[in-house]
Amino acid sequence: MFQDLNKWFAPKPQPIFVHPTLGSFELDDGIWTGRFQGIELSLAGNESAPNEALFVAATALLDRFLEVKETALVYLVSQDEAPDKEDFTCYDLELLREECPNHFALRFMLLGDLGGMWRVEFEDGAPLFLTRDD
């Protein structure tokens, strides 16, 4: 009897989705996350899989990732009193708006800025704005 109760209250395993090119993704708080070539990918989707249009957009962005990252870094260091671009490390590509696969963000860490997250949002390939969170 108690074994049946344990089934009801035991934690459910995290859903996993495997993409043939980009690898495995896990669902956490409504966002699918995975890693590809050292970069975390965060994609919106539903309970069973990431959004297919966002996969297509992510694949296209990863094909030209060095160019996109450089554009973000140039934008970052163009801000007043910005640190050197060599001090930033890109760690995440986010595509979180299912209705706008051309809207994405790159997140960076800054050397010596413990806990800080620098985020450059793009739309149609151009940087829109920069945010920093602790």
pLDDT at 5 (0 to 100) = 60
What was the pLDDT predicted at 132?
A: 87
Query: Could you write out the DSSP letters of every residue in 23-66?
Result: EEEEEETTEEEEEETTEEEEEEB-SSSB-HHHHHHHHHHHHTHH
DSSP result, 63-129: HTHHHHHHHHHHHHHTSTTPPPGGGEEEEEEEE--TT-TTEEEEEEEETT-TT-EEEEEEETTEEEE
Mean pLDDT in order along the chain per 10 residues (134 residues): 62 82 93 95 95 95 95 93 90 95 95 87 94 84
* pTM of the complete model: 0.86
Report pLDDT for 112.
87
